[in-house]
Chains A and B, each alone.
Chain A
Amino acid sequence: MQLDVSRAAALCASLLIVAILLPMCGGSETARTDQSRDGVGRIIRMVAHTYMPSDDMEVSEQNPFPRGAIRVLAKHWERQHPGVRIEFVRIPDQTAYVSWVRTQCTGGTVAEIIFWWPPGDELGLKEWVIPLDDYLDRPNRYVSGNERWRDLFLPVCLNPPWKARDGHDYFVPVDVFMTAVFYNKDIFAEAGIERLPETWDEFIDVQERIRQAGYEPFWCPEMRSHWPRSLFGQLLFDKEVFEQLDVLETNGRIEGEEAIRGASLGITGLHEPRFREYLRLMKEWSQYWKGGPSLGGSVESINLFLLGKLAMVWQGAWSLSQMEADPYVEFEFGLFAFPPMTKDTSPVASGRKPLINASPGTCYYVTQSAARNGLADLCADWLMFLTTPENCEELTQETTAIKIPPAVVGTKVAAVLEPIMTYDMSLLEDLIIPWGDGSPEALDNCNRLFELFLMDELDFEETVSRMEKWWEIGIEEAIRINQRLSDEQGRWDMAKW
């Protein structure tokens, strides 16, 4: 018996050793790539994500939006770079992508170019990706006359708000996420609306005329989120307020500490006329929402638009082609950008054409694998090739696929996207109206009180007074929690406020 146990243990140990040694005999990923560098071909592996080429280019119910442009572009680029091949990596599972990338980066086997969300603080901090500042400051050799590659991109994509905390640029954007108002052209025509609204007052007037024509004017399923606060942040707040807030780390975005500082110093708050205007204007607007002034609404609002029962819906521009391909859509629809607000509407209007929720969309990062294998320059070159206006058009406006607003200036877009590309893309500050900053409880209660105000259950003064209390509670809690942090570096130095 004793002998058997020993034998079994010996067998297990042997298997373990074999299991450890076998992969070593196969050689590592690095070794394989190094070999290929010295040999015939070098491979750049790329996680193309949104632009991953489809296996089958035939449009069908199962394959409604096939993509192939990036494959064609890769062939062109490869012809100019003999011996180098672009290989598109299929990710195993969309939902596990984050874990997959982290695992691959930790193991040093990650593809040379990957997709990730901006600004890539985590990847940069762990040195899993390389800074691209130097490349972005060089000319893109595929665009004649270009002096700095970074100048090719819309300012909203590659500027301070999207720089990593260490000040580096780690990604190259290909497209932009933004939202737009989708409208039913047939209902507009029936209501006698001949042109799109150019001011907020006209926008409200359009909704009134639609209602009079017997249709529900407007809805957005994200009314409970930060979307309306972002919209009115642009409509009511000018750069001056932003600059008063963005002071501790002047990076083009309002960090948590800066928001709390602003609120506790009274720069933001319900005493401020712009916040009061926000409440008033939202209440006025809410009269035209489908289902009345409620932040909840119907789960089926989008379907109502698709069925032609709702005149306008505020959605992400990325929904465009899904709507185009929807079999229930029997009307013509278009997109437009929210118009600016003038002083006629509100004395505190900023007059800016709002650019709401705009952020870099598909962003590509060059990883340490590329640097280690001497492929970083080639990766950057391939990304330069992809981001010429012509190639970006091929990529983002592919006939069979979903049309996406491009990140490269001068890229021609599909006709349906043209009205929203008139947004002020130079706008860098995305000021979301502060709202019970500091604690989730304060935020939740401010939302509830705001909803009751919209429904006429609370009057203006009571709403403001109760919200102010929650506002104070939120600030106090945020400071209290922060000052108790065990990590001293994370504690705010309130003396600097």
Chain B
Amino acid sequence: MGYGEVVDAASSTKADIVRGIRACRFYVYLLPTFVLLGVFCFYPPILGFLGSFYEWNGANVKIWNGLDNFAKMAHDKVLIASIGNLIKLATFTLITSITVPLLAAELIFNLRSLRAKYWYRVLLVAPMVVPGMVTLLLWQFIYDPNVGLLNAVLGVFNVPAQRWLNDPHLALYCLMFMAFPFVGGITVLIYLAGLNSIGQEVFDAAKIDGARFWQRFFRIDVPLVMGQIKLLLILSIIGVLKGYGAQLILTDGGPGYSTMVPGLHMYHQAFEFDHLGYACALGLALFLVIITLTYLSMKIRKPETE
């Protein structure tokens, strides 16, 4: 090795070190993000996972009890009742949240006027600025058995007043209906984006072949927005399984257990009954169910666009 090569090797090593140090700088810049992610996003679930194997009141009692919390679930009548409610709620929510926005998106997509399309999109997105809590309280007023809007309207047609959220046979359906008219702004926009991405030549070809609206809808539109359907299906599953806001605010799972869902049961166990260990186990079980259902959703036949 000549002198020149030695010098080159030395300068190359030096350059590597400088490059390495420079690269390290960028890792250091990323560090706070990952530290915060770790503390606030990864540590709590890990703590929850570990907590599910303890009898834990969140304070001074933390005793290892192995799989007892999971065994307890099998005999938990409240949980079993809440799963029944969840199945009804999830079925209704999934059907309405997938189909109705698609129909709404089709209607908007097929409008001839670009201006009209624009305004319908704006009108769909505008309600999203209203806080969820306001919507819930509005529905609480609508369902109020004494001064509520719904009973007042029924009264005009001489239909007897109902107890709505106070009726164990109606309460769950009242909660389902709260999503009316079931066209969430974002879902319609997602479908519209999917429909817009279908090439015009496909529609032209369908037209030449004499396809009618419904034939085009089922044979072209639906297969080509399957990616969006899958996405919304997964989001809806996650939302409905872990959601309990409406129940917490409006019914607290009642009357009796008629609107209880696993998420609310978990919340009660953790923050009202001080059974944090059991709540962690419920949370872990919910997580596994969500992961499984999400995986199964991913297995739905691949969309034509993929």
Annotate A290-303 by CB proximity to B: 1 below 8 A, 0 otherwise: 11101111111101
- Neighbouring A residues of B61 by C-beta, 8 Å: 481, 484
Q: Which of B106-114, B223-231, B250-258 is found at the contact surface with chain A?
A: B250-258
Cβ contact within 8 Å between A301 and B272: no
> Which of A129-137, A229-237, A257-265, A449-457 is found at the contact surface with chain B?
A449-457
Question: Which residues of B have CB within 8 Å of A452?
Answer: 168, 255-256
Q: Which residue of B lies closest to A294 (CB)?
A: B166
- Give the residue of B57, B163, B273 whose beta carbon is less than 8 angstroms from that of A291: B163
- Given A299-B140, A300-B146, CB of A291 within 8 Å of CB of B166: yes
Q: Place the interface of chain B in its size category.
A: 20 to 34
CB distance from B249 to the nearest CB of A (A): 12
Q: Does A304 sit within 8 A of B, measured CB to CB?
A: yes
Residues of B within 8 A of A451 (CB): 254-256
Q: Is A122 in the interface zone, CB < 8 Å from B?
A: no
A243 an interface residue at 8 Å Cβ cutoff?
A: no
Contact with A along B166-204 (1 / 0, CB 8 A): 101000000000000000000000000000000000000
**Does B145 lie within 8 Å of A298, measured CB to CB?**
yes
Q: Determine if A303 and B147 form an interchain contact, defined as CB atoms under 8 angstroms apart.
A: yes
Kindly state whether residue A41 has any CB partner on chain B within 8 Å: no
Q: Main SS of the interface on chain B?
A: loop
- Contact partner of A296 (CB less than 8 A), chosen from B255, B257, B268, B272, is B255
CA distance A304 to B61 in the complex (A): 47
Docked Cα-Cα span, A295 to B168, in Å, equals 12
Among the 9-residue stretches A113-121, A152-160, A328-336, A437-445, the one with 4 or more Cβ atoms under 8 Å from chain B is: A437-445
Instruction: Check if B273 sits within 8 Å of A296, measured CB to CB.
Output: no
Q: A448 contacts which chain B residues (CB < 8 A)?
A: 253-257
Interface size on A, residues (CB 8 A): 29
**A457, B146: Cβ atoms closer than 8 Å:** no
Does B274 lie at the interface of the complex (its beta carbon under 8 Å from any beta carbon of A)? yes
A486 on the B face (CB < 8 A): yes
Q: Does any Cβ of A come within 8 Å of B68's Cβ?
A: no
Bound: A344/B256 CA distance, A: 32
- Segment 424-477 of A: residues with Cβ below 8 Å from B: 439-441, 444-445, 448-449, 451-452, 455, 457
User: What residues of chain A lie closer than 8 Å to B78, measured between beta carbons?
Assistant: 445
Question: Which residues of B have CB within 8 Å of A481?
Answer: 57, 61
Chain B residues near A301: list those with CB within 8 A. Answer: 146
Residues of A within 8 A of B163 (CB): 291-292, 294
Q: How far is the CB of A98 from chain B (nearest CB, A)?
A: 22
Contact A441 B166 (CB under 8 A): no
Most buried by B among A303, A304, A449, A484: A484
Q: For B147, what are the chain A residues with a Cβ–Cβ distance below 8 Å?
A: 298, 300, 303-304
Chain A nearest CB, measured from B207 CB (Å): 56
- Find residues 279-331 in chain A having any chain B CB closer than 8 Å to their own CB: 290-292, 294-301, 303-304, 309
Residue contact A486 to B60, C-beta cutoff 8 Å: yes
A291 touches B146 (CB 8 A): yes
CA distance A290 to B78 in the complex (A): 28
User: In the complex, are the beta carbons of B273 and A455 less than 8 A apart?
Assistant: no
Told that A451-B256, A481-B61 touch, could you supply 15 new A-B pairs with CB distance under 8 A? A291-B146, A296-B165, A296-B251, A299-B140, A304-B146, A440-B272, A440-B273, A441-B268, A441-B273, A448-B257, A449-B256, A451-B254, A455-B256, A457-B168, A484-B60
The 6 A-B residue pairs with the shortest CB-CB distance, nearest first, are: A452-B256, A441-B273, A298-B146, A294-B166, A291-B145, A300-B147
